[in-house]
Amino acid sequence: MKRTFVKFRNSAFRSFIRRHSKYAPILFFIGGFIFDTLTLGRIDRTYDLTVLCLHMTSLSITLYLYNLADDGKWKHTFLERYTEYLPLAIQFFFGGLSSAYVIYFSRSVSLSKTASFFIILVLLLIANEFLKKRISNKYLQFGVYYFISFTFFAFMVPVFLKELNNMVFLISGGISLLCTLVLLTFIYSKSPSTRKEIQLGKMIGIILVIYAVINLFYFMKLIPPVPLALDKGIVAHNIELKNNEYHVTYEAEDSYVFWRKHNLEFSYTPDQNVYIFSSIFAPTNLKKAVFHRWRWYNPKTEEWENLDDIGYDITGGRDGGFRGYTFKNNIRPGEWEVQVLTEEEQVLGVIGFTIIERNTNYGKKLKTERF
């Protein structure tokens, strides 16, 4: 009786997928994204690490199963009845991993300097909806797989090594390259259909190009130093540390600007200090030196001028992020930005604001918040 029920359930599910094959990819896409949005939190949390590792492992296994299915490898086995679902499974894992990366990156307070890499992730996430029709293209399969794998290890390796620098990034890329080439050559050796469809040298060449481009992006500082992320960045009138809490006094934004609490226009009076408060997420026990680069836009030269680099160290593990601040006085009016950078000058985020000189504090709506 139980076997009959399971058989009926599988048959019903297969019929449902076939009837709604046009919409199935969209449902898998939306479902994976919603699942990650609701469940993922900290990259160093056991649950998050487990989910991402399971996604990556399952994706690798599914790629192997799918590529050998065309050779009839799974005929007369229990896997035969599930081979038609393998493209959807590949799409689900592609979507699950890419959406996780988008979620982690989007939690940073600023993506202005690293928007190009973020846009690639978003486009990959959107393109995943239409991937099913072209999933049989093995060049596309392994190209996307390698990009996903590189990003996966770029997150994971710093978490486990508890260190982040250029060498760690190169190690991450090397591990992802090795794993991808091992999987590719293994499938290539086992699957006659794969050997007919792709040239191994050409496929390796494509992967090496992707490897080179990602490294170029990184050393051009177009990729954020994951898994670090700037959680909060506030321009403030005063900051005090009391009982291990930062009391930050800033100008409150108008109520209709619901997406931001603090005003980006700073009302400045002569001889006043201008403070920048930042909260940086870092995985547990990851130590890193960061600094604030204060920059002023010169309207005469129409260029940004670097005025001060003020640094401090961070140690990860706190849910609210590692907190710190810097300040300046004798500020001139105009457009300002403070870049939050690692010691390798990788951009964590940019805090932009405008200084407006006023003789009095009239009109300021000051608010003090504890962090």
The per-residue pLDDT for range 272-293, each reduced to its tens digit, is 899 999 888 777 777 778 899 9
Predicted local confidence at residue 118, as pLDDT: 59
Per the CB < 8 A criterion, the answer to whether 173 and 352 are in contact is no
Q: What is the mean pLDDT of residues 341-356?
A: 87
Collapsing DSSP states into helix, strand and coil, what is residue 304?
strand
User: 82 Cβ partners below 8 Å, 6+ apart?
Assistant: none
Domain boundaries, the chain: 2-219, 229-370
User: Distance (Å, rounded) from C-alpha 286 to C-alpha 178?
Assistant: 25
pLDDT at residue 3 greater than cutoff 50: no
What is the average pLDDT across 257-286?
82
Backbone angles phi, psi at 269, to 5 degrees: -115, 150
pLDDT value for 342: 87
d(CA 303, CA 171): 36
- Backbone φ and ψ for 249, nearest 5 degrees, come out as -105, 120
Instruction: For residue 25, name the pLDDT band (cuts at 50, 70, 90).
Output: low
Could you tell me what percent of the chain has a pLDDT over 70? Answer: 76
Phi and psi (nearest 5°) for 93?
-70, -40
Residue 10 pLDDT > 60: no
Per DSSP, 254 falls in state: P
Q: Report the SS3 class of residue 108.
A: coil
The 10s digit of each residue's pLDDT in 149-206 is: 998 999 889 888 888 888 999 999 999 999 999 999 999 999 998 999 889 999 999 9
Q: Which residue has the higher pLDDT, 108 or 39?
A: 39
* pLDDT score of 236 more than 70: yes
d(CA 335, CA 264): 10
Q: How far apart are CA 125 and CA 346, in angstroms?
A: 25
pTM above the 0.85 mark? no
Contact between residue 367 and residue 250 where contact means Cβ atoms under 8 Å apart: yes
* CATH number of the structural domain 229-370: 2.60.40.1930
Q: Which helix (H) or strand (E) holds 310?
A: strand 303-315
Q: Which residue has the higher pLDDT, 16 or 158?
A: 158
What's the pLDDT tens digit per position in 305-335? 999 998 876 665 555 567 888 999 888 899 9
- At residue 6 the predicted structure's pLDDT band, cuts being 50, 70 and 90, is very low
Q: In angstroms, rounded to a whole number, what is the distance separating the alpha carbons of residues 200 and 142?
A: 11
Residue 1 pLDDT class (50, 70, 90 cuts):
very low
Q: Would you mind telling me the total number of residues written for the chain in this entry?
A: 371
Computed over every residue of the chain, the mean pLDDT equals 80
- Alpha-carbon gap, residue 252 to 42, rounded angstroms: 29
- The DSSP-derived string for 118-156 is HHHHHHHHHHGGGGGGGTT-HHHHHHHHHHHHHHHHHHH
DSSP 26-70: HHHHHHHHHHHHHH---TTSHHHHHHHHHHHHHHHHHHHHHHHHT
The H-assigned helical ranges of the chain are 2-19, 24-39, 46-69, 86-106, 115-127, 138-161, 166-190, 192-197, 200-219
Q: What is the pLDDT of residues 138-148, one digit of tens each?
A: 888 898 899 88
Per-residue model confidence as pLDDT tens digits over 198-220: 899 999 999 999 999 999 988 88
